[in-house]
Structure 1
Amino acid sequence: MTTKLSRETLGALPEGIARPAYDPAGVTPGILHVGMGNFHRAHQAIYIDDLLALGGSDDWGILGAGVMGYDAEQRKALMSQDCLYTVMEQDGSGDSARVVGAMCGFAEVEDGHGPILKAMEDPAIRIVSLTVTEGGYFIDPATGVFDPKNRQIQADIAHPDHPTTIFGAIVAGLRARRDAGAVPFTVMSCDNVPHNGKVARAAVVGIARAQDPALADWIEANVAFPNGMVDRITPATTPERQAHLRDTYGLDDARPVFCEPFRQWVLEDSFTAGRPALEKVGVQFVADVTPYEHMKIRILNGGHALIAYAGHLLRCTYAHEAMAHPLVGGFMNKVERDEVVPIVPPVPDTSLWDYLDLIKSRFANPRIEDQIRRLCFDGSNRQPKFIVPSVADCLAAERGVDGLALGSALWARYCFGEDEQGAKIEANDPAWERLVQQAHAARTDPMAWLEMADIYGDVASNVTFRAAFGAALTSLWQEGTAETLKIYLAGE
């Protein structure tokens, strides 16, 4: 027999599942969060849940929101259980399950985002936070800055009262706050994007300036966009995971989240209308988040990219399998130690080598079952952020780039769309068609891959990188993935 999760059944939760140490019915929203996916619900919402448990912060609950078609299904599922959901932390020591009650509603998903705009007009909403993925910030890959010519952005500029994007909605919400003489809300990005606050600011101000320069000036003068570094490995919730929760704990939850025990949030203390006292529950407030995000993006996200394509080509399904594979795990470790960690700037009160060891242990967690295919996704957006900057820094420091070049060549080989056994690699990137075309050209002319200037920038013309990349991709085609990795690890 199972228990259907709801406020009514909280008192009868099966044994072994922690429940909120407060009454969720008494929580009111102070945060409007857009993007109620697994990461947010296992990260930001957990910190708010911990804070609510301390008492005295009941006005800092989360009102969920979404702007994509699938968000309507997410809303329906969560609303059916009073916006409660289970978070299951998993590692080699076992499971730890808790029901989270920090979410106190979910705005209806509508064309034009009317319910979101209404929520933004409410002075009780003091923070609008976002997890819209790395690709959701309308960055021109060729310039690395906000692209006002994007079709959706142009639509928002032309129709300010009927926005298409969340950034168009934020501009409309801030306009309403200004016109009402109300204090504006803070815009807080929680996405894995370098300088995410600055990136969000560029999108909001860019739209506003094209609509109304005076509004753009007001936003620049009055609205905070703090930068933050967020971290927690949160894989997809599979039917098997849901069945595990149901069969092991007897709990029927339509939207459970599974994650590792580790979590981290480093945040700049810059807020327009106050903030929750998140320092009480482990959030680290700093004057400048740059060193922390630099460390995480280069070592962790770069590390994921290193094991992803090698792991797939050697038929690993999960990250922990890739880490256990002597060639894949050895490849990541050597590249990190020789080429990545040495060019990461110092981080206050942090040993970069200890951080690397932590990352390796997290990747090797067998309970997370983080899918290699997930790590391979969206390389066209992630490689320029996670790998290419390390290449550029190594070249500037006159350090070798053989390992990073091999990592990039493995991505090119993956994007050929067929593995070494002839099995098809299904589309796994918004730019997949283009990548496959370039990968096929690069099979006989490796430099064709480096023609993608929006991804490689200046490093594409660097003689050292070109030589290393060309040799690596040629070896992958002639010798295969396993032999190429053996050669690299042997230092040959």
Structure 2
Amino acid sequence: MSTRLSNASLASLPAGVSAPAYDRSALRPGILHVGMGNFHRAHQAVYADDLLRAGGDPAWGILGAGVMPADEQMRAGLAAQDHLYSVTEMGPEGDAVRVIGAMAGFLPVAEGHGPMIAAMADPGVRIVSLTVTEGGYFVSAETGGFNPEHPSIRADIASPDRPRTVFGAIVAGLRARRAAGVQPFTVMCCDNLPHNGAVTRAAVVGVARGQDPELAAWIEAEVAFPNGMVDRITPATTEARRAHLAKAHGLDDARPVFCEPFRQWVLEDRFPAGRPAFEDVGVQFVDDVTPYEHMKIRMLNGGHAMIAYPSGLLGLEFAHDAMGDAQVSAFFEKVERDEVFGVVEAVPGATQEQYLASLKERFGNPRIEDTIRRLCLDGSNRQPKFIVPSIEDNLAAGRTVEGLALESALWARYCLGVDEAGAEIAPNDPDWDRLVAHARRAKDAPEAWLELRDVYGAVADHPGFREPFVRWLSALHAHGVRKVLADYLGRD
């Protein structure tokens, strides 16, 4: 029989399950986090739990919040077990299971975000952090900046007291603190975005500027938005994994998280209102996070795309299957070495070659069972952030982008919605219908795919990218993935 997770059961957890020994009743919310999905709970919250276990200040508890209807289901599941949940690190040799106790509560999810805005006005909240997905920042690929004309943003500007977006809620919270003479909180983005703090700042200031230019100027002058790089492979939680947790470890958890053992967090140290002593539990504080984020986003997230789309077309199920496929893994390694190494810098403790070696080990971990479908998800938002910048930098340096153009062509072929065996690929992008329509046109006229200016911007017109992309997509339709990969790998 498995143990139901709750405060009452912490003292009698099954053998091998690590419990928080600190006094959870002393927790106070110093961090309000929006987006309590698997990644945050396997990453930032784990660091917070580590610090509390080491005797850290209980004033840095995490208060959960959400902006989507599904977040209310997450709230209910966590509240039923006293805001506790388990994290299972699935290493090649076995599991390490721990219970995370860093959550001090979870706000009701409400239209207009009233509970969240009220909590942001509380002086005890000194950091507002975010994981709202890479596509949630209203960035225009054509301009590279914030898009103030998006309907949701226009709605926030028109109705400051009942915002739709998290950025409108942040502006409302900051407005309340300014009016009360309370120091503003720091806004800390934890999403996989280049210069994620700067991107978040543009969104918050953009909303504020449309509402009140004086408030926008105050935010620009007084509010910190540190850039950060976050890393941990965290696949979706499945019923099979829940059953494994109950059977192998005797734990009944409505909201468990499963992840790889590796984790990394690099942050710029700009927290005027204070911060937890995260450096004591392995967070790296640096003056400039750029080289770390370039290495991670372009090599890891970009590398996921390199293995995902050929694998999705070939019917491979998991990332470790892709790494076990001689062609797919060779494609990944060749593109990384030939076209990505040159657009990232080595960082302390990791050269490009060393980082690639770690990625091969991490992607190949069979216990993670990270699905190819998850890695293919949301290409319309991920490609402009993970692939296109590498293309741009190579083109600017006069270097080839043959492999990156092939990766992009593989994505276009995937979006046709049918794999190499003729099986349907279920919708796998918020913009799936538009992508399928372009992919169908591109089957006979490959240039049609490059009309996706919100993805490619000016890169679509550059002959150094356009010519190989057209050639590779034509070849994929004519000869299939295996022949095209063989041709690419056979090049010098």
State the TM-score, normalizing by the size of structure 1. Answer: 0.98
**What code does the residue aligned with 1:455 have?**
V
Deviations 1:412-435 (A, max 9, x none): 100011112211111111111111
Determine the structure 1 residue equivalent to 2:336: 336
**What code does the residue aligned with 1:464 have?**
G
Alignment of structure 1 residues 343-492 onto 2, 5 Å: 343-491=343-491
Determine the structure 2 residue equivalent to 1:48: 48
Deviation at 1:403, TM superposition (A): 1.0
**What code does the residue aligned with 1:215 have?**
L
Is 1:277 equivalent to 2:277 in the alignment?
Answer: yes
Determine the structure 1 residue equivalent to 2:288: 288
Provide closer, same or farther for how the CA distance between residues 325 and 56 of structure 1 changes in structure 2, counting only shifts above 3 A: closer
Determine the structure 1 residue equivalent to 2:100: 100
Deviations 1:51-83 (A, max 9, x none): 001114111010000110000100000000000
Determine the structure 2 residue equivalent to 1:300: 300
SS across alignment from 2:59: coil
SS across alignment from 2:441: helix
SS across alignment from 1:140: coil
Determine the structure 1 residue equivalent to 2:5: 5
SS across alignment from 1:210: helix
Query: Are the counterparts in 1 of residues 195 and 227 from structure 2 also a CA contact under 8 Å?
Result: yes
Determine the structure 2 residue equivalent to 1:60: 60
Measured in 2, the distance between the counterparts of 1:399 and 1:159 equals 48
Determine the structure 2 residue equivalent to 1:112: 112
Deviation at 1:113, TM superposition (A): 1.0
Deviation at 1:117, TM superposition (A): 1.2
SS across alignment from 1:98: strand
Deviations 1:372-413 (A, max 9, x none): 011101111111111111112222222222111111110010
Give the unaligned 5+ runs of structure 2: none
SS across alignment from 1:33: strand
Measured in 2, the distance between the counterparts of 1:450 and 1:333 equals 26
Give the unaligned 5+ runs of structure 1: none
Measured in 2, the distance between the counterparts of 1:85 and 1:461 equals 49
Name segments (4+ residues, structure 1) moved above 3 Å. Answer: none
Measured in 1, the distance between the counterparts of 2:177 and 2:434 equals 43
Query: Are the counterparts in 1 of residues 152 and 165 from structure 2 also a CA contact under 8 Å?
Result: yes
Query: Are the counterparts in 1 of residues 142 and 456 from structure 2 also a CA contact under 8 Å?
Result: no
Measured in 2, the distance between the counterparts of 1:166 and 1:406 equals 36
SS across alignment from 1:418: coil
**What code does the residue aligned with 1:430 have?**
P
Determine the structure 2 residue equivalent to 1:243: 243
Alignment of structure 1 residues 169-318 onto 2, 5 Å: 169-318=169-318
**What code does the residue aligned with 2:481 have?**
T
Query: Are the counterparts in 1 of residues 187 and 224 from structure 2 also a CA contact under 8 Å?
Result: yes
Measured in 1, the distance between the counterparts of 2:471 and 2:345 equals 29
Measured in 2, the distance between the counterparts of 1:447 and 1:476 equals 14
Is 1:128 equivalent to 2:128 in the alignment?
Answer: yes
Query: Are the counterparts in 1 of residues 17 and 96 from structure 2 also a CA contact under 8 Å?
Result: yes
Deviation at 1:464, TM superposition (A): 2.5
**What code does the residue aligned with 1:4 have?**
R
**What code does the residue aligned with 2:232 have?**
R
SS across alignment from 2:424: coil
Deviation at 1:325, TM superposition (A): 0.5
Deviations 1:192-233 (A, max 9, x none): 111111111111111111111111111111110000000000
SS across alignment from 1:310: helix
Determine the structure 2 residue equivalent to 1:88: 88
Query: Are the counterparts in 1 of residues 168 and 207 from structure 2 also a CA contact under 8 Å?
Result: yes
Deviations 1:287-319 (A, max 9, x none): 111111011111001100000100111111110
Determine the structure 1 residue equivalent to 2:18: 18
SS across alignment from 2:98: strand
SS across alignment from 1:187: strand
Measured in 2, the distance between the counterparts of 1:448 and 1:109 equals 41
Measured in 2, the distance between the counterparts of 1:422 and 1:349 equals 45
**What code does the residue aligned with 1:32 have?**
L
Measured in 1, the distance between the counterparts of 2:80 and 2:294 equals 40
Measured in 1, the distance between the counterparts of 2:133 and 2:7 equals 31
SS across alignment from 1:247: helix
Determine the structure 2 residue equivalent to 1:28: 28
SS across alignment from 2:8: coil
Deviation at 1:466, TM superposition (A): 1.9
**What code does the residue aligned with 1:219 have?**
I
SS across alignment from 1:482: helix
Deviations 1:137-166 (A, max 9, x none): 111232221111111111111111111111
Determine the structure 1 residue equivalent to 2:168: 168
Query: Are the counterparts in 1 of residues 170 and 204 from structure 2 also a CA contact under 8 Å?
Result: yes
Deviations 1:7-59 (A, max 9, x none): 00101101110001312222111000000000000000000000001114111
State the TM-score, normalizing by the size of structure 2. Answer: 0.98
**What code does the residue aligned with 2:483 have?**
E
How many residues of Structure 1 are paired with residues of Structure 2 in the alignment?
492
Query: Are the counterparts in 1 of residues 48 and 278 from structure 2 also a CA contact under 8 Å?
Result: yes
**What code does the residue aligned with 1:445 have?**
A
**What code does the residue aligned with 2:384 have?**
P
Measured in 2, the distance between the counterparts of 1:346 and 1:55 equals 34
SS across alignment from 1:400: coil
Deviations 1:166-213 (A, max 9, x none): 111110100110111111100000001111111111111111111111
Measured in 2, the distance between the counterparts of 1:69 and 1:56 equals 33
SS across alignment from 1:368: coil
Query: Are the counterparts in 1 of residues 402 and 468 from structure 2 also a CA contact under 8 Å?
Result: yes
Measured in 2, the distance between the counterparts of 1:328 and 1:105 equals 44
Provide closer, same or farther for how the CA distance between residues 92 and 177 of structure 1 changes in structure 2, counting only shifts above 3 A: same
SS across alignment from 1:145: coil
SS across alignment from 2:76: helix
Deviation at 1:349, TM superposition (A): 4.4
Query: Are the counterparts in 1 of residues 322 and 329 from structure 2 also a CA contact under 8 Å?
Result: yes
Deviations 1:259-289 (A, max 9, x none): 0000000000001200000000000000111
Measured in 1, the distance between the counterparts of 2:376 and 2:54 equals 40
Measured in 1, the distance between the counterparts of 2:426 and 2:257 equals 26
Measured in 1, the distance between the counterparts of 2:425 and 2:396 equals 35
Measured in 1, the distance between the counterparts of 2:128 and 2:210 equals 22
